[in-house]
């Protein structure tokens, strides 16, 4: 397995018998999630074949876009773009293909106008991802992008350059039929933040040139592990953090010493924050990228309130080297680093941080990944989504709905006059 979990940094906070009992409960919940059709909102994708998710069609269109596009715009917000973005930002550095731009995730006129200026004179394709096409951000961005494209392309060209991903029967589906846009199905049972293994996540990573088969292989490995191993990483993680939560640890910070995992942390924040934050319950999800954030948050983590869980995402092999060569004539007093690779230095900083924070009374959980690649993402996404579903059940909240976010939407729509306008 490329993903493992180390809980040594938590064991002093709860006794072994309690942990084993919690694991047993968590595993029972996991098996229910794996078999109960009523839980398809998190795992509904598991019965989807490649043909059911239009796999070959997506691959063919992705190849066309990679050949013809200078820019590929992903129009989505939250669960509609986070999983794909995390992978693309972490892995695309070594890939050729179009520039990937993200819209539909801001209402900033400055950002939108500057992005449109940046696209001027370039070959542009867009993928609009919106489950029900009712969210303000992607809806408004799609309108301004269509207006921008109408001035530069014929109707037929636009039909070829616009892809929409939504649910069958939605207004987005109707728009696709009316205009000849390629329509990719957003499976109805699957919630946005659990959609990494559907066309929502698969098509953008295909366009980015990532190995989607390796990604799905990682998913399959993790799913098999969850079905066969009672103390797999998903169960272990859910059990440990729930025990800590019961003891008053109500903030969790996901940290990594690899900055390319920043958007993975953002995806994790939404996954757990939106799934658990209900009925005045839940662990507040935060994140940091070390070592930079050690110089802003390290003091608080070390000596602040003792209600914080620190979860490390550690990478064994970064697949890169950067060796510091001796420079005896410079006299900078960093000669102790001579001949060291930055990965050696990075891991020393990581180990020192874990030891210091543990000594300061911070329970530390560590996910260990062999390397950052597509298979790792498939495994990790699966374990974390399963853990999130289990964790919600342990807290006795519904981990699949998000009624709370509808409140600000209703208020926003009222202010904007939606009720009085068609």
Q: At residue 146, does pLDDT exceed 60?
A: yes
If asked whether residues 195 and 222 sit together in one domain, one would say no
Last residue of a domain, one of 213, 247, 277: 213
The answer to whether 246 and 14 are in contact (CB under 8 A) is: no
The reported pLDDT for the residue numbered 93 is 67
Residues of the chain above pLDDT 70, percent: 91
The reported pLDDT for the residue numbered 33 is 86
Query: Is 357 a catalytic site residue?
Result: no
Tell me which of 141-150, 216-225, 338-347 is least confident.
216-225
Sheet with 251-256, strands from edge to edge, namely 3-6, 364-371, 308-317, 251-256, 284-289
Q: Which residues contact 106 (CB under 8 A, 6 or more apart)?
A: 112, 137
Name the residue with tokens 């959609």.
195
Q: Which residues contact 213 (CB under 8 A, 6 or more apart)?
A: none
Please check whether residue 419 lies inside any domain of the structure. Answer: no
Q: At residue 48, does pLDDT exceed 60?
A: no
Q: At residue 217, does pLDDT exceed 80?
A: yes
If asked whether residues 180 and 272 sit together in one domain, one would say no
Q: Which residue has the higher pLDDT, 292 or 132?
A: 292
Q: How many CB atoms lie within 10 A of CB 297?
A: 16
User: In angstroms, rounded to a whole number, what is the distance separating the alpha carbons of residues 252 and 258?
Assistant: 18
Among residues 68, 122, 409, 414, the one annotated as catalytic is: 409
Last residue of a domain, one of 175, 192, 213: 213
The answer to whether 102 and 375 are in contact (CB under 8 A) is: no
Confidence of residue 235 (pLDDT cuts 50, 70, 90): very high
Confidence of residue 419 (pLDDT cuts 50, 70, 90): low
Helix (H, G, I), strand (E, B) or coil at 74: strand
Among residues 295, 339, 396, 421, the one annotated as catalytic is: 295
If asked whether residues 104 and 207 sit together in one domain, one would say yes
Among residues 274, 276, 310, 374, the one annotated as catalytic is: 274
If asked whether residues 163 and 131 sit together in one domain, one would say yes
Q: Which residue has the higher pLDDT, 277 or 412?
A: 277
Task: Supply the CATH number for residue 355's domain.
Answer: 3.40.50.10490
Residues of the chain above pLDDT 90, percent: 79
Tell me which of 50-64, 76-90, 289-303, 375-389 is least confident.
50-64
The reported pLDDT for the residue numbered 80 is 87
If asked whether residues 349 and 207 sit together in one domain, one would say no
Name the residue with tokens 């025990």.
243
Tell me which of 282-291, 309-318, 333-342, 401-410 is least confident.
401-410
Tally the domains of the chain. 2
Q: What is the mean pLDDT of residues 340-360?
A: 97
Can you say whether the dihedral through the CA atoms of 234, 236, 238, 239 is positive or negative?
Answer: positive
Q: At residue 85, does pLDDT exceed 50?
A: yes
If asked whether residues 69 and 114 sit together in one domain, one would say yes
Last residue of a domain, one of 213, 247, 271: 213
248-283 pLDDT per residue, tens: 999 999 999 999 999 999 999 999 999 999 999 999
Please check whether residue 409 lies inside any domain of the structure. Answer: no
Query: Is 295 a catalytic site residue?
Result: yes
The reported pLDDT for the residue numbered 417 is 81
12-26 pLDDT per residue, tens: 998 889 999 999 999
Please check whether residue 418 lies inside any domain of the structure. Answer: no
Tell me which of 120-124, 159-163, 182-186, 418-422 is least confident.
418-422
Please check whether residue 117 lies inside any domain of the structure. Answer: yes
Q: Which domain holds residue 87?
A: 45-213
The reported pLDDT for the residue numbered 311 is 98
User: In angstroms, rounded to a whole number, what is the distance separating the alpha carbons of residues 352 and 337?
Assistant: 16
If asked whether residues 209 and 228 sit together in one domain, one would say no
Q: What is the mean pLDDT of residues 188-203?
A: 87
If asked whether residues 231 and 159 sit together in one domain, one would say no
pTM, 2 dp: 0.93
User: Which backbone phi and psi does 362 adopt, to 5 degrees?
Assistant: -100, 120
Which pair of structure tokens corresponds to residue 13? 């906070």
Confidence of residue 148 (pLDDT cuts 50, 70, 90): very high
User: In angstroms, rounded to a whole number, what is the distance separating the alpha carbons of residues 148 and 116?
Assistant: 8
User: Which backbone phi and psi does 284 adopt, to 5 degrees?
Assistant: -70, 125
The reported pLDDT for the residue numbered 422 is 47
Confidence of residue 92 (pLDDT cuts 50, 70, 90): confident
If asked whether residues 276 and 392 sit together in one domain, one would say yes
The answer to whether 82 and 384 are in contact (CB under 8 A) is: no
Q: At residue 205, does pLDDT exceed 50?
A: yes
The reported pLDDT for the residue numbered 23 is 97
User: In angstroms, rounded to a whole number, what is the distance separating the alpha carbons of residues 138 and 75?
Assistant: 6
Q: What is the mean pLDDT of residues 132-157?
A: 95
Q: Could you tell me the CA-to-CA distances from 138 to 72, 80, 81, 377 in Å, in that order?
A: 15, 10, 11, 26
Which pair of structure tokens corresponds to residue 374? 């597509």
CA atoms within 13 A on the CB side of 339: 0
Buried/exposed 11-32: b ≥16 CB within 10 Å, e otherwise:
eebbeeeebeebbebbbebbee
């Amino acid at each position: 397995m490329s993903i493992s979990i180390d809980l040594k940094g938590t064991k002093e906070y709860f006794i072994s018998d309690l942990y084993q009992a919690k694991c047993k409960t968590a595993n029972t919940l996991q098996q229910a999630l794996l078999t109960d059709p009523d839980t398809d909102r998190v795992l509904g994708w598991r019965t989807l074949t490649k043909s059911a998710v239009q796999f070959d069609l997506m691959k063919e269109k992705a190849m066309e876009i990679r050949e013809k596009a200078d820019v590929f715009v992903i129009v989505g917000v939250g669960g509609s773009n986070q999983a794909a973005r995390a992978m693309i930002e972490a892995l695309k550095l070594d890939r050729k293909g179009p520039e990937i731009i993200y819209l539909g995730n801001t209402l900033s006129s400055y950002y939108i106008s500057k992005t449109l200026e940046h696209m001027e004179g370039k070959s542009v394709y867009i993928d609009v991802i919106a489950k029900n096409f009712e969210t303000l951000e992607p809806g408004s961005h799609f309108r301004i992008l269509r207006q921008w494209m109408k001035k530069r392309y014929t109707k037929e060209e636009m039909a070829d350059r616009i892809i929409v991903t939504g649910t069958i029967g939605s207004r987005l589906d109707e728009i696709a039929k009316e205009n000849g846009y390629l329509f990719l199905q957003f499976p109805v049972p699957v919630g946005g933040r659990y959609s990494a293994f559907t066309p929502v996540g698969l098509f953008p990573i295909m366009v980015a040139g990532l190995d989607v088969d390796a990604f799905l292989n990682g998913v399959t490995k993790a799913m098999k592990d969850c079905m066969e191993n009672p103390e797999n990483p998903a169960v272990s993680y859910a059990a440990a953090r729930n025990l800590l939560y019961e003891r008053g640890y109500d903030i969790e910070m996901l940290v990594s010493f690899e900055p390319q995992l920043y958007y993975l942390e953002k995806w994790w924040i939404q996954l757990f924050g939106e799934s658990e934050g209900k009925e005045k319950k839940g662990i507040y999800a935060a994140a940091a990228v070390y070592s930079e954030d050690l110089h802003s948050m390290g003091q608080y983590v070390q000596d602040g309130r003792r209600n914080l869980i620190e979860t490390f995402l550690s990478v064994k092999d970064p697949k890169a080297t950067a060796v510091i060569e001796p420079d005896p004539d410079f006299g900078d007093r960093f000669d102790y680093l001579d001949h060291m690779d930055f990965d050696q230095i990075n891991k020393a900083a990581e180990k020192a941080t874990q030891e210091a924070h543990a000594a300061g009374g911070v329970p530390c959980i560590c996910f260990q990944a062999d390397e950052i690649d597509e298979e790792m993402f498939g495994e990790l996404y699966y374990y974390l989504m399963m853990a999130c579903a289990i964790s919600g059940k342990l807290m006795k909240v519904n981990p699949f709905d998000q009624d709370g976010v509808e409140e600000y939407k209703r208020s926003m729509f009222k202010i904007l006059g939606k009720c009085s306008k068609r």
